[in-house]
Amino acid sequence: MTIRRRFGPWVTALLAFALPVGTVTAQEQVPAVLSLEEATRIALRNNPLLQADLNSQELADWNIKAAYGALLPTASANSSLSWQGSGEQQVGSITLTELGFGNQPSYYFSSYRLGVSYALDGRILLGLPQARAERDARIAEGAASQAQVVFMVKQSYLEVLRQTEGLAVAEQELARAQGNLRLARGRMEVGSGTPLDTRQAEVAVGRARVSLLVAQNAVRTAKFRLAQRMGLDPQDEFAASSTFDLTEPLWEEEELESIALERNPSLRGLRAGLKAQEYSVRMARSAYYPTLSINASSSGFAREASNPDFLVGQAQASSLQRILQCEATNEVFRRLADPLPTVDCSRYIFTETQRRSILDGNSQFPFDFTRQPPSASLSISLPIFQGLRRQRDLEASKIAQENTRYQVRNSELALRADIASGLANLRTAYEAALIEEQNRVWADEQLRLAQERYQLGVASFLELVEAETVKARADRERIAAIFAYHDALASLESVVGTSLRTL
């Protein structure tokens, strides 16, 4: 029996606990046919940077809970156990022996304390609305991150489509080059062609194959980048299925500006941050307000001597001392000229009941506490001067608020400029795509005429190759123009904050 067979289950179990969770989680697979909507949903679930940004929303929720908790009183409970050995102890400048309490035994001590306190000031009162404003800012920032991920996924998706179209063009070029090679060889066999035409056709086939390899690699690379944007490991076993049409951009600049000022995620995040800054200024100003504090506590202690005979001996010595003092007093009373009645000194005799009471009273450790008097306090404090620190914090909050307001204004100006330039770029890209579409039609016609002329022997192979070159360039320029339009549209939608295809 091999080691692997004997210990395999144990090794598997150990690895399950030792490896990080991420290493054992199954990797999500991209569907074989991937639409843009599905790619976006996968990205919103898995993109790591987006998930990191969304985690701040959970922290903001806890900040709100903590702000609620700050409005409630705090409670504390503590207890302690201690031991003190026997020996000489000093009380001030004298010792216990000098006070007549020598040979102290060791002691066990225990105590408890229960306390409730409540404090209220301006920061606590403003903590809850500020926490809510901070959560709104985090939500707005999360929405901006989501919008950025959607835009990046759309860009990557368009790149996959662009490279896929380029691959189709490369395949067509290779097919045409191979057809030209067969045509050149056929003409040479019948004596109407030349070996130079055949060699040129073979070179064209080789170049077309290289272009095909480059196009195939570009498609794989684009798919890898798309998988990365979706938060997945590199995958290329899928096909992009969404299609995008050319539509004339008829939107007006003022209309798009109005929508963008309301829906742009980044601008909404800045505005939410500005609202949170307003509460920061209020909290800084609250440092000038008074603070109310309420405290209440209850405590107790227990003490037990390790040697109870010492306590019994002390009580017996005290009883004997009182008897002797009583007898001396009675003797004085009897010798008076007018004797006074004497006192019964037997009442000071140490009894077994007293001994038992001392032993029972010593058995307190650790939970037979002697309760101390409870205490409560109420205080109000008003800060008067703290070295200008409060004013400095207040001015810093005001400057931060003003800076955020400037950022909002700058974002609004940039938004208007981006919409104006983006709409102009989109219209230009649309016109260019229409022109390139017509150019491709003309290139197709030119190639068809060149092929017919070459078959009839009235044109050279060089003329056919030149028509092929014009055709290939027209195809590539058309693809570039179409996807330049879609890139410009995606950028404009990112600025506006919504899809323009539904407007």
Contact between 90 and 259 (Cβ < 8 Å): no
Comparison of pLDDT for 304 and 427, the residue scoring more? 427
Torsion of CA 412, 413, 417, 423, to 10 degrees: 20
Distances (CA, A) of 267 to 7, 137, 375, 400: 59, 11, 55, 17
Least reliable range by pLDDT among 42-56, 116-130, 308-322: 308-322
pLDDT digits (tens, 9 = 90+) for 341-356: 888 888 888 888 888 8
Torsion of CA 84, 89, 90, 95, to 10 degrees: 150
CA angle 416-421-423, nearest 5°? 95
pLDDT of residue 101: 58
Q: Is 242 helix (H, G, I), strand (E, B) or coil?
A: coil
Q: Is 339 exposed, middle or buried (CB count within 10 Å of its CB: 0-12, 13-18, 19+)?
A: exposed
Alpha carbons 104 and 310: distance in angstroms, whole number: 8
Task: Domains for the chain: give ranges and CATH numbers.
Answer: 68-120+291-381 (no CATH), 141-172+216-289+389-496 (1.20.1600.10)
The dihedrals phi and psi of 32, each to the nearest 5 degrees, come to: -60, -35
pLDDT digits (tens, 9 = 90+) for 15-67: 333 444 333 344 678 889 999 999 999 999 999 989 988 888 888 999 999 99
Alpha carbons 198 and 184: distance in angstroms, whole number: 5
pLDDT digits (tens, 9 = 90+) for 132-186: 999 999 999 999 999 999 999 999 999 999 999 999 999 999 998 898 888 888 8
Alpha carbons 230 and 240: distance in angstroms, whole number: 14
Residues in the chain: 503
pLDDT digits (tens, 9 = 90+) for 391-403: 998 999 999 999 9
pLDDT band, residue 97 (cuts 50/70/90): low
0.95 cut: is pTM over it?
A: no
